[in-house]
């Protein structure tokens, strides 16, 4: 059975690698330049069942291993970080339902999310509540068989595009983080609309914006888990999806390294390819060390999750921190290898560096990751 699974994984990864090279990479520069959501890439991933990977087979998904999902994110990110984020966020937005949802909630949402007919979003961050999620102000008030939501979320990936939004709101203002609850909010609910769309430095084709709730009514059965469990659900979700951002950073770094090596072989100065110069060789070697170390950390977390481990927050934080820091260093060095050409939008490495920066920030800044790691050490 293990041999069969390994063979299926190899076939899938080979398919994704070809797809990334032939279909995704040629679109990456245009997606970045226009800043428009890549509906064609969404359809491409849906048609190839890539968006079905995080969902169990009984709901129409592929039931892929975490390690396989991480490897697919990596392959897509080599070509286009925005496109890789489509899979990341489909998992992020739906994972709270997987962790705390009822069978009815899963039956209602997972089949259409697995086909890509529906997209998902994860709405935790607010203007005054980023790293400090406990400062949340969005309220959900129980009124009979309904909850009424009021508030604002921002920096939300897939804002205005997602059909299913996992939204965190305060149900008991006096209970601190234990007063936060999680809800499923469908995109067409009255009183729920999109606010400002952000104009970003990187991942420009991924739509990021505000979600506004003005007396938005949702049925009580849209509550995930029990009242007061929202903060726990949010943290458990991020522990499990943080490795996906590490995989994205890894893919960006590998893509930049690959391009820098290719360029260094072709660029001739002083009568020889610049890869023959020791200064360039050492730069490329250091880049390769960073990428390979990041890969081992990312894959290790995937293997831990697939083994059934329940406590991998430290390892997820280490992988995310190291891989994203490596992505910044490697993309910066790739630009240096290309010299003036690296600074031009004609070549992809400047886009890769802009894309890499967000991996140090979202799903928990690297400063927060270091706090997670330090707390694990103190225990």
Average pLDDT of the chain, as a whole number:
96
Within 10 Å of residue 293's Cβ, how many Cβ atoms? 14
Virtual torsion, Cα 17, 22, 23, 27, nearest 10 deg:
110
Distance CA 215, CA 304 (A): 42
Cα 283 to Cα 333: distance, rounded to the nearest angstrom: 7
Cβ density class 143-171: b for 16+ within 10 Å, e for less: eeeebbbbbbbbbbbbbbbbbbbbbbbbb
Q: Is the predicted pLDDT of residue 198 greater than 90, yes or no?
A: yes
pLDDT over 80 (residue 1)? no
Beta-sheet pairing, 164-170 with 120-123: parallel
The residues, ordered by sequence, that sit 6+ positions from 108 with a Cβ below 8 Å of its Cβ are none
Whether 3 has a pLDDT exceeding 80, the answer reads: no
Q: What is the DSSP string of 193-225?
A: EEEEEP--SSSTTS-EEEEEEEEEEEEGGGEES
Which CA distances in Å does 241 have to 245, 247, 304?
7, 10, 13
**pLDDT tens string 144-154:** 999 999 999 99
Label residue 9 by pLDDT band (50, 70, 90).
Answer: confident
pLDDT digits (tens, 9 = 90+) for 274-330: 999 999 999 999 999 999 999 999 999 999 999 999 899 999 999 999 999 999 999
Residue recorded with tokens 């396989």: 68
Identify the pLDDT of residue 4.
Answer: 57
Query: And the tokens for 32?
Result: 């970045």
In a 10 Å sphere around its CB, with 0-12 CB exposed, 13-18 middle and 19+ buried, how is residue 51 labelled?
buried
Q: What percent of the chain has a predicted confidence (pLDDT) above 70?
A: 99
The DSSP call for residue 55 is S
Mean pLDDT along residues 245-249: 98
Residue 106: the pLDDT is: 98
pLDDT digits (tens, 9 = 90+) for 83-139: 999 999 999 999 999 999 999 999 999 999 999 999 999 999 999 998 888 899 999
Residues 371 and 142: their CA atoms lie apart, in Å, by 35
| pLDDT given for residue 41 in this prediction | 98
Q: Can you state the angle between helices 39-47 and 81-100, rounded to 10 degrees?
A: 60
Q: Report the relative pairing of strands 164-170 and 180-186 from DSSP bridges.
A: antiparallel
The answer on pLDDT for 7 being more than 70 is yes
Map out the domains of the chain with their CATH numbers. Answer: 2-115 (1.10.540.10), 120-227 (2.40.110.10), 231-378 (1.20.140.10)
**Sequence-distant (≥ 6) Cβ neighbours of residue 193 within 8 angstroms:** 211, 212, 214
Report pLDDT for 131.
Answer: 87
Per-residue pLDDT tens digits for 337-361? 999 999 999 999 999 999 999 999 9
- Kindly report the number of other CB atoms within 10 A of residue 177's CB atom: 16
Answer whether 0.85 is exceeded by the pTM.
yes
In terms of C-beta distances under 8 Å and separation of at least 24 residues, what long-range contacts does 67-70 make, across chains too? 67/299, 67/302, 67/303, 67/305, 67/306, 68/9, 68/12, 68/13, 68/302, 69/244, 69/302, 70/243, 70/244, 70/246, 70/247, 70/298, 70/299, 70/301, 70/302
Out of 66, 74, 75, 363, the active site residue is 363
225, with CB counted inside 10 A (0-12, 13-18, 19+), is: middle
| 57 belongs to the catalytic site | no
Give me the numbers of helices (H) and strands (E) for the chain, helices first please.
11, 10
pLDDT over 70 (residue 371): yes
């Amino acid at each position: 059975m293990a041999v069969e699974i390994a063979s299926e994984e190899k076939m899938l990864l080979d398919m994704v690698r070809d797809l990334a090279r032939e279909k995704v990479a040629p679109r990456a520069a245009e997606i970045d330049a226009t800043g428009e959501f890549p509906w064609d890439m969404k359809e491409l991933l849906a048609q190839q069942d890539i968006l079905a990977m995080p969902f169990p087979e009984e709901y129409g998904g592929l039931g892929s291993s975490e390690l396989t999902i991480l490897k697919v994110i990596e392959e897509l990110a080599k070509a286009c970080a925005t496109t890789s984020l489509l899979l990341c966020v489909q998992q992020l937005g739906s994972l709270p339902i997987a962790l705390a949802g009822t069978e009815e909630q899963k039956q209602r949402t997972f089949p259409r999310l697995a086909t890509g007919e529906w997209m998902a979003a994860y709405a935790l961050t607010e203007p005054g509540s980023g790293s400090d999620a406990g400062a949340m102000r969005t309220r959900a008030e129980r009124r009979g068989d309904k909850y009424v939501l009021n508030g604002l979320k921002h920096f939300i990936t897939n804002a205005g595009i997602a059909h299913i939004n996992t939204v965190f709101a305060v149900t008991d203002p006096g209970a601190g983080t234990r007063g936060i609850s999680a809800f499923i909010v469908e995109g067409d609910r009255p009183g729920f609309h999109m606010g400002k769309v952000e104009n970003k430095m990187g991942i420009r084709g991924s739509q990021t914006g505000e979600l506004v709730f003005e007396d938005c009514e949702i049925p009580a059965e849209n509550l995930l888990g029990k009242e007061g469990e929202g903060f726990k659900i949010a943290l458990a979700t991020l522990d499990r999806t943080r490795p996906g951002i590490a995989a994205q950073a890894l893919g960006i770094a590998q893509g930049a390294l690959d391009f820098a090596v290719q360029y260094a072989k072709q660029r001739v100065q002083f009568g020889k390819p610049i890869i023959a110069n020791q200064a360039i060789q050492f730069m490329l070697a250091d880049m390769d060390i960073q990428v390979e170390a990041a890969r081992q950390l990312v894959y290790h977390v995937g293997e831990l999750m697939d083994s059934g481990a329940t406590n991998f927050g430290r390892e997820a934080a280490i992988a995310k921190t190291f891989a994203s820091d490596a992505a910044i260093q490697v993309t910066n060095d790739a630009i240096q290898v290309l010299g003036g050409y690296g600074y031009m939008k004609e070549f992809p490495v400047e886009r890769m560096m802009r894309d890499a920066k967000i991996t140090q920030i979202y799903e928990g800044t690297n400063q927060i990751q270091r706090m997670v790691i330090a707390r694990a050490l103190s225990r």
